[in-house]
Structures are given as structure tokens and as C-alpha cells.
Structure 1
Amino acid sequence: MRLVLCGIVCSFVIANVVTAEDPKESDYYPITTFEVPEGVVLEASSFQLLSDNQLAVASRRGEIWIVTDPFAKEVNASQFKRFAHGLHEVLSMAERDGWLYVVQRCDVSRLRDSNEDGKADEFEVVCDDWEISGDYHEYAFGSKFDREGNLWITLCLTGSFSSEVPYRGWCVRVTPDGKMIPTTSGIRSPGGMGANAAGDIFYTDNQGPWNGTSGLKHLIPGKFVGHPGGFEWYKLAENVMGPRPTEPESGSRFVVEAEKIPEYEPPAVLFPYKKMGQSASGIACDLSQGRFGPFEGQLFVGDQTFSTVMRVVLEEVDGHYQGCCIPFLEGFDSGTLGVELSSHGVMFVGGTNRGWGSRGKSPFAVERVDWTGEVPFEILSMNALSDGFELTFTQPVDATTASDPESYSLETYTYIFQSSYGSPEVDQTLPVIQSVIVSDDGMSARLKIEGLQRGHVHELKSSGVRSAEGLPLLHSEAYYTLNFIPAE
């Protein structure tokens, strides 16, 4: 008999059978809810950890609050002070040279506190070269500064289908001197933006026309990411983007249209609808050098409807990003919107239900996720091979269960690429897991599979796999979007 310590839960293991309560998410990543000042509706849309280790929190309602000592065991209302108000739906922030840059619905502005009284007293418009009509859909999300000092902005379509407002349905870049550069077309309804460890910019787009389900998309200058509703604005951007692409064929499939339209970059990762969420949101990359656990370099992506954060593992195949999504953490108090991961290894999560509803019952929330220091037994990554997938784990596996094909189940499906709203899962297949080879150190397993399907989500469940200590996986599901099958 062995005593296995997993956070605060103890499991007695006899012959690889867990006889006490299995570990749970909160044993590794507990959530702390901040106490917001009474009467304040703080629909936390984004965060910026400032150079003095105070935390700026933006509200969808146009306010910015500063939180002192956001790493304290408990954060109460007295630690909040309003820094600015009267802004227009701030959804992103970044700091540079003493200025706080904000992406609001109508522009990029910057503000600062010049007399050091804790309130912004200088406001400057950096760029307002796109337009708004007053339609409630016209969200504007921004990135942090890229390596050239640019901010990337995704501009939601006026409605789900088209737009008559310049540059709605586009990604643009704003340079350090305030110039706007049209960058990528095909945006529908973004929910957040962020860079991966290599500095490449991604955004989440949500289910609707030309989006069978929500997904993570790579923003590449000159490319088109799927929704032709903003094609009108090529007439303003031809000197940068060239002529408008061919419009995709409604009713087709992502990879079929990618073969026909050179400019089209299909989603890097699809989030299966009502399995991984319904409204993908903020993005944060773990660059904490292990301070947040074993997930260094991976992306964390929120979902507003499910009030969750998931993990995304990316790789490049044939010059394109693709990869898998894996559940990470549920139970946030409101619908997840803003997500930020500091170099300290601390995640800040903001929430709103905005009237749409969410699993989290509170109308808004400001929360923090800390790592306890205990490593959960998880699928660390899922990588494509020419004849299957390789799984790596956060802890050594039990070779008997992990090498048994019966410990796994696999199905595939895709979504219709169409102009109407959303799509069911279609073209389902059941590939055969022929064999599983576990590495000598027990940290990986190679699954040889007959029937890989290009362009499909491969939904893998590893419910029978146990760790060397007899524990089940904290999350047994992984969903890999196989746009390209690697060469042998």
C-alpha cells in the first residue's frame, strides 16, 4: 500500500486501483475570487500586469481599475481603485513606456497618470482608422505588443453575415507611430487574441456563418481566415493585400477550400461544439518557465458560455499550425472572457454573462488561478504522426494499461464550411487503433492508427490509461484538428 499525495487529496493505491477519491482540478489549480467594490459592475474583459506589479483590470463597461497586491492570499474591495472611466468597451490592454494602451470599440488610445494621484489624466488617440456603426456586435480585440511594437486588432463584423462599415471583418495592425495596416481578412466574431511562444498571433473566432464551430486561427499578413463578409474592404487595401480572394463554396469542407484558395488559412484548432465549449474567448501563453506547472509554451483559451479555460497544444506541419485542445479548468464564477498568465506563474481570469448566460452564475467576476506545486497526471501533448499520434504525459504511465488499445477510443468528424449558421458534426468515421507502444521511461505512448482523416477532428479518449501510481488521467479527452498529415 502506498500513500500518493496529490495536492490536498490522498489516494490509497492497491494493485493500480484507486480506492479513495480521485484527484480533482482544485487539488492542483485552485481558483480565488476577488472581492469587487460594492455597487461596481466589473465585467472583467482584460488584464495588464503593470511594471510595479499592480494589476490593471478593464471592464467591458468602459472602466479601468487598478488592484494593489493582486497576488495576496485574499483580495478585497479596498485593493481596487478606479483609474479611468468613460471609455468605450475596453476589451484589451498593453503597457509601454509608462502608457497604458487600450483597445476600445472605436480606436486604440493610450492613457497615463502624469501627476501620480492614481487616476489617468492624459488620454491620447493612437489610431482610429476603422469605423463603427453603433451595432452591438462591433467588438474590437487587441493583442499585446508584437516584436516590432505593433498591436494587432481583430474587428468583429457588424452582424453575423456581412458589413458595410470599413474594415469590419478584418484584422489590422497598428504601428508604434499610429499607422493602421490592413493585415488579414475573414474575421467573423473574435473573442480574444494572443501570441504563442514563438510570437505568432492567434485569435479565437466563434460559431456562426462560415464557422461550423468555434476555433483558434492563426493571423498571417495577406491571408484570409474564412468569412467573406468583409471582402468589400479589399478595395481599400489592395495596395497592401492584393486582389480579393475567391469566395469559398458554401457547403464544402475546410481543407477542400484550402486547396482551392491559396489565401485561405483554415483554423489551426477546432473546439468541438458543446464538448469543449460554445463561445471561445481570451488567450494566454504560459511563458512562466515552469511556475504554472508542466505546461510551458502552451496556450490557455477561455470559453464564455462554459465558464472554463482549456489548454491548446500547437505544432507546425507542412508550414501550418495545427494541434489539439484539452480540458484544463472549470468552475469559474462567470462566463470566461479575459485571460492573462503572468511570468510569476499566476493566471487572472475575468468574467461576464452579458445577458447571454453562462455556466458561472454570477453576472461578472475577477478571479485568479494559482498552481499548488503538485503535478496532475495529464496528457501533456498530442502530436500527429504519419500513421497515428504520439501522446506525452506529465507523469510516467502504467505500461500495462497505456499499451492496451482497449484503453483508448477514437472517432473523427468535421464541420460543414457554409454561409449558414454553424454546423453539426458530419462525415464521422471510426479509425482503428492497431497498436500502442509505450516508451521505456513511461512518459509517452505511440498510437498506430488505421484510418486517419485529413481535415477532421480526431476525438481521443484515454479513459483506461493509468499512471504508474494507479491514478486515472485528470482529463482523458483530447481533440486534434488534423488539417495536414505529416510525411512518414
Structure 2
Amino acid sequence: ATQRPEITRLKDTDGDGAADVFQTHADGWGVSGDYHEYAFGSKLDANGDMLITLCLTGSFSSKVPFRGWAMKVTSDGQTIPYSSGVRSPGGMGTDSTGNVFYTDNQGPWNGTCGLKVLREGKFMGHPGGWDWYEDAPNMGKRPQEPESGSRILTEAANIPELVPTVVMFPYNKMGKSASGIVCDQSGGKFGPFENQLFVSDQSQSTVMRVDLEEVDGVWQGVCFPFRRGFASGNVGMEMAPNGSMFVGGTNRGWGSTGPRPFAVERLDWTGKIPFEIKHMKSTTDGFDLEFTQPVDAATATDLAGYEIETYTYEYRSQYGSPEVDPTKPTITSATVSEDEMHVRLVIDGLQLGHVHELHSNGVRNQDGNPLLHPQAYYTLNKINEAN
């Protein structure tokens, strides 16, 4: 169990189903008692190791050792610095192949909330914990200082250690406090989104859906609305073997749309496949949309049925950022695949480092029904020259 000051091992020595021995497994970082010094842990990997993310003291700087870092905790309890640059994590999780992701929240050096991939020896974007490089010889020298007011892809081109945000969650549009992460590996028991990630939001009491891809070693992807109306502020999530999603929430310290002070709720699939954009993948000149049901070709090829805009966020030391650098790309063609499950959009004006906000309000399935969620938000970090 991960808590602020340590990783705790729980044991049931008498077999009654309740833990009666609590042992410190690892505590190789600092804690001052500041309200914001959260800690989140991944599950154990095949070696019995795990990763943890440690929120900055006050979420701005590091007053105690390794706040603002990700740390590796080995099976024998060693704590090893893993990545710097963490600000205010809200949860951790792995994809279907074991890559570890965490959510970081809007604030200094985070223009909006985002999903980030942890890489050993890398810098996740917030320099407030850099004092601890002196105690992390395995990490090498501290990176070059980022320029406040720049853009994260611009700085990543100059700072080799900097890992761009994988998916930016547009503020207000997709929540305000990204938190827990879970991967659907239920084998179809939860619906048509196997191997995709689901990310909760504490403030707006929602669960988002995230579809990722790796292009030439660079992670990027799209987020969609999924479910809202939960009873409290969603934080932790877990998928049960039967395909149920459990969502735990609290509004302690921060308010939430869900009015209850705490809740644990179960989300089950009804068995009915909704009409949704299942995948949105980048191509050399636009995006390929794959749907959960065959589309009506007449509406899916009508360019008037789509709207697209792009924007990004300042990468700066001030708290958060408005949407900046807006553009209006042009969709020049929409082509339906032979099986009517895909639409390829050719777009003039793709923007690296931008969120591509797509609304497909005009698209219908073959029964004439619109998309349950017509909006999609794709963060483009790399042009996919292979597709």
C-alpha cells in the first residue's frame, strides 16, 4: 500500500482475512506534513518492483528529499530515483504492454492537466525538485533549465531529457483534476474498448477514455468523454476480472461535481455497443477514425459534418495557461473504408504540439443515430509518416 511517507507491506498472519502486521517496505523520500505531499504507486511488476510518484511540497517546490520525483521501489525495499519533473500526480497505471503512465495536474509548468509516460532518467517537465539531483547520481547531471513562456515541444527539442505530455486534457472541457488510470484488459467484458486507458477526474466526477499510439518512440493520443454523474470526486479506479470498473471518490480538500464526501461505485457494461469513435490514429496528412459501428457513408463523407480547431498551452512557471496559438485547419476530404468502419480525414494545417479538437456532429451510423460522444481531443507530438 502506498501512502505519503512510505510503502507499507500488510500481512494476515492468522488467516482471518484482515491484516494484523504492518511493515515499512520502503521510505526513501521525505515528508514534511504539507497538505500536498501525496504519493501514488503503481502495481508490482514481474520482478516485484514498483514505481511511485511524489507530489511537490505545496505542489510548487521541493522542501524535502525527492518531492517532485518518480522513484523505483525494488522488491527488497530499495528506493532509486527514476524520473524528475513531477508536479502534482493524481494516479498511476500501465497500458496493456506494461508502460507506466501517470496523470499530472494543471499548475506551474503544466498549462493543463495531462497524461505522461514515465521514462527512467528523464525529466517530466517541472524543475521544482531539481535540488535532489545531487542525491541521485544514477540520474546524471540536471537538465538544461526550460524557458518559461515557451512551448513544451519547443523545449523538448533543446532539452533531451524532457518528455512531452502524451495527452493534454483540455481544461474544463475534459475536467480539472486528472487522477486515476486503469487499462481495460477484460477481453471485451467491459465493451468495445479493450486495451484502452480510462482516466478519472476528481473535480468534475467523470471518467475519460484515452486511445494511445507510439510514433517513432514518441507517445501521443486522444481523449474522449466517457461517463459522468459519479457521486463524489473520482480518484482511484480498478477493473475486476468480470469486467466491472470500480471507481473510488472523495471531495476532501477539493470540491467536486459529485456532492457526496466519498463514494465507491461500480460501472458495468450493459452489453449494448454504443456508436462511438473507437480509435483515432494519426496519419501523414490527417487522422484515421475507426468507429464501433458501420457509418452512413453519405453523412461520413460530408465535410460540413465535421469541425476542427487546434490550440496548445504555454509551458511556463506561472500557474496554468489559457489556450494559446489557435488555428483553424481545413478538412479537405473524408473517405469511408470499404467495410464502412473507418473514415480517413485529410487535413490541411496539422499543428505539432497542439490539441486537435474534432467535432463529428454530422456523422451517423446506418440506423441514422449520431455519435454518443462526437468530440475528440488529439495531442499531436509527431507526424506519423508510416500511415
Same fold by TM-score greater than 0.5: yes
Post-superposition Cα deviations, 1:126-164, rounded to whole Å, max 9, x if no partner, equal 101111001010000001112332111000000232112
Aligned position for 2:262: 364
The separation in 1 between residues aligned to 2:120 and 2:343, in whole angstroms, is: 37
Letter of the structure 1 residue corresponding to residue 127 of structure 2: P
Q: Which amino acid aligns with 1:129?
A: G
For residues 258 and 188 of structure 1, what CA distance do their matches in structure 2 show? 17
The alignment status of 1:148 with 2:47, answered yes or no, reads: yes
TM-score by length of 1: 0.78
- Structure 2 Cα separation of the partners of residues 453 and 145 of structure 1: 38
Which of 202, 205, 208 aligns to 2:104? It is 205
Mapped to 1, the partners of 2:357 and 2:266 lie a distance apart of: 30
| Partner residue of 1:314 out of 200, 207, 212 | 212
How far apart are the structure 2 equivalents of 1:320 and 1:147? 25
1:295 to 179, 193, 208: 193
Q: 1:194 aligned to 93, 97, 103, which one?
A: 93
SS in 1 for 2:16: coil
Letter in 1 for 2:208: M
Deviations 1:165-215 (A, max 9, x none): 000000001011111111000000000000001100000000000000000
Partner amino acid, structure 2, of 1:112: K
Find the structure with the greater CA-based Rg.
Answer: 1
Matches within 5 A, 1:28-427: 102-238=1-137, 240-427=138-325
SS of 2:192 mapped into structure 1: coil
- The alpha carbon displacement at 1:280 in A equals 0.1
Amino acid at match of 2:233: G
| Aligned residue-pair number | 386
1:429 matches 2:327: yes
CA shift for structure 1 position 119: 2.4
Residue equivalent to 1:472: 370
Of stretches 139-148 and 469-478 in structure 1, the one that deviates more from structure 2 is 139-148
Do the aligned residues in 2 keep the contact of 1:456 with 1:481 (CA within 8 Å)?
A: yes
- How far apart in 2 are the matches of 1:394 and 1:345? 18
Q: For 1:229, what is the secondary structure of its paired residue?
A: helix
**In 2, Cα distance between equivalents of 1:119 and 1:374:** 39
Gaps of 5+ in 1: 1-101
Write the distance in 2 (CA, Å) between the matches of 1:120 and 1:341.
23
SS in 1 for 2:339: coil
- Alignment partners' CA distance in 2, 1:459 and 1:216: 17
Q: Which amino acid aligns with 1:408?
A: Y
Letter in 1 for 2:361: S
The letter of the residue matching 2:22 is F
> 1:176 is matched by which residue type in structure 2?
S
Q: For residues 45 and 70 of structure 2, what CA distance do their matches in structure 1 show?
A: 14
Give me the identity figure in percent: 63
